[in-house]
Amino acid sequence: MRKQILPTRDVIALGFMTLALFLGAGNIIYPPIVGKMTGEYYLISSIGFNISGVVLPMLAVIVLAEKKGDPLAVCAPMGKFWGAVLASSFYLFLGVFFASPRTATVSYEMGVVNFLDDTPLHLSIYSGIFFAVVWILGLYPGRLLKTIGYVLAPLKLLCLLCLAFYATRSQVAPLVAATAGESLKTFSDGFMNGYLTMDTLSALTFGMLVINSMKGKGVTDREQIKHYAKTSVLFAGIGLVAIYLCLMKIGAGFGQTGDFQNGAQILRAFIVENMGMAGTLFMAVLIYLACTVTAVGLTSATATLFSQMSGISYRILLPLVVAASFLIANIGLTRLIGVSVPALSVICPACTTLILLSILRWPTHAIALPVWVSIVFSTYTAVLKPLGFSVTLLDKLPLTSVSLGWVLPTALAALLLLLKDKASNKVVVASH
């Protein structure tokens, strides 16, 4: 079979598309608050943030590329039934129940309310228009490379370049050598905030769109898909790291000048001070572009997966996914957050475990148990403990204080299964 070689412009567009899909509103407002928290040590915190917020998600895209963009194949080590349940939960919580509705509410709160009164009617009108645009853009999944890679992504990047220019004016306290304790804390702060972007989970949705865009251009060979996926994530990864550093610098400098409670407040005040009232409009456009691209990616990927699983037409499922996101954004998001956040706190460790073990080429039969262990221990931390169910021994696990109590038990389960597998192979070899 003759391999399809993509023209350079399409390769660049794939990189832009990957970058734009991952760079949502949450990814823009997290780094400034991390910068404010860590101050002159923000470069140390940026290492932790970029490991969990850039490296792991990019690796997840590569894992998906090895499976030719099929999330069911990624989840196959869990078994046919539980693999389908796990993949469905990944997509439902991101594309319908939580992340997708949030794109409308975040862009509304950070943009529209600066110009109009915050009322349920205004939110309803805005979210209706927002999701109508998302539906129209998502109608033609084969054209997403042109829509996002050639148009929306460059516009978003242009806005961020303007922000990066002004970021150079943000004065940071002189960088000083941190003690071992300070280094560990700032690294941990950065890592946890990068982890909370949940981009490792999002990578399974966004990666599918990037790989399907390759297929739409005639790239079907597995090695070619992996090659272009690696090129795209390298492009996107470098871009994300550079943008995150600029945003952290704003937080480490300007963020120290006021009593800001979150990254959105820091950015809004910084932009207004440097750009005047025009900065308010600039902020609204930036966040709108970020949220629109993310919403298109989430809803399109969700509709694509369930179309593959059910055989129902993508064009039938897409408006249903978009409509559900619209309804939740207007009538149930606040209440749903109480359910979604704990659920995502359980699902994300499972996804992280699955991706890391796949990258490390773990034996397929030794993956399911560690994933189940991560689910059990994260369920205790995120669900049972807040309900008042407490186990002293579990509370003493390392990293429990930062909601990572599942890491050690999961790692031990994975290592024990690997050792057992190697011991079994030695016995088989010896018997021959």
Looking up tokens 């003493």, which residue turns up?
Answer: 396
Per residue in 56-78, pLDDT (tens digit) is: 999 999 999 998 888 999 999 99
Q: Residue 375 and residue 350: Cα distance in Å, rounded?
A: 6
3-state SS class at 313? coil
Reduced DSSP (H G I as helix, E B as strand, rest coil) percent helix, strand, coil of the chain, to 5: 85, 0, 15
Domain 8-335 falls in which CATH fold? Amino acid/polyamine transporter I (1.20.1740)
Domain ranges within the chain, ordered by starting residue = 8-335, 362-432
CA distances from 393 to 79, 265, 373, 377 (A): 31, 40, 16, 12
Residue 120 phi/psi, 5° resolution? -55, -35
pLDDT of residue 418 exceeding 70, the answer is yes
For 56-90, give the DSSP string.
HHHHHHHHHHHTTT-HHHHTGGG-HHHHHHHHHHH
Residue type present at position 111 = G
Mean pLDDT value across residues 177-185: 66
Per residue in 307-331, pLDDT (tens digit) is: 999 999 999 999 999 999 999 988 7
Instruction: Say if residues 228 and 219 touch (Cβ distance below 8 Å).
Output: yes
Looking up tokens 């997840």, which residue turns up?
Answer: 60
* Helices and strands: H and E segment counts in the chain: 20, 0
Q: Residue 314 and residue 300: Cα distance in Å, rounded?
A: 9
pLDDT of residue 296 exceeding 80, the answer is yes
pLDDT of residue 247 exceeding 60, the answer is yes
Mean pLDDT value across residues 141-157: 84
| The pLDDT of residue 133 | 95
Residues in CB range of 345: below 8 A, 6 or more apart: 378, 381, 382, 403
Q: Residue 160 and residue 247: Cα distance in Å, rounded?
A: 10
Residues 62, 66, 71, CA angle at the centre, nearest 5°?
85
Q: Residue 53 and residue 98: Cα distance in Å, rounded?
A: 19
Torsion of CA 414, 420, 425, 429, to 10 degrees: 160
